[in-house]
Amino acid sequence: MGNKGGKKGAPKELTSKQIVMLKANTNYTDREIREWHAGFLRDCPTGKLNKKQFIEVYKKFYPQGKADSFCNFAFSMFDANHDGTIDFDEFLLAIAATSQGSLDDRLEVAFDMCDISNDGQIDQKELAGMISAMYDLTGESDRKGDRDPKKRAAEIIKKIDVSGDRKLNKHEFIAGCKNDPVIRRLLAPNV
Q: How many CB atoms lie within 10 A of CB 65?
A: 20
Q: Does 103-187 match 16-99 at the fold level? A: yes
Beta carbons within 8 Å of 97's beta carbon, 6+ residues apart? 105, 106, 109
pLDDT in tens, 54-99: 888 777 777 777 878 878 878 888 888 889 999 999 888 877 877 7
Out of 2.60.40.10, 3.40.718.10, 3.20.20.140, 1.10.238.10, select the CATH number for domain 16-99: 1.10.238.10
Q: Say if domain 103-187 classifies as CATH 3.40.50.300.
A: no
- For the chain, the domains span 16-99, 103-187
Q: Please provide residue 12's backbone torsions phi and psi, each rounded to the nearest 5 degrees.
A: -75, -20
Residue 3: what pLDDT? 37
Residue 69: what pLDDT? 80
Dmax over Cα atoms in the chain, in whole Å?
A: 60
Please provide the DSSP assignment of 144-164 as one string.
SGGG-HHHHHHHHHHHH-SSS
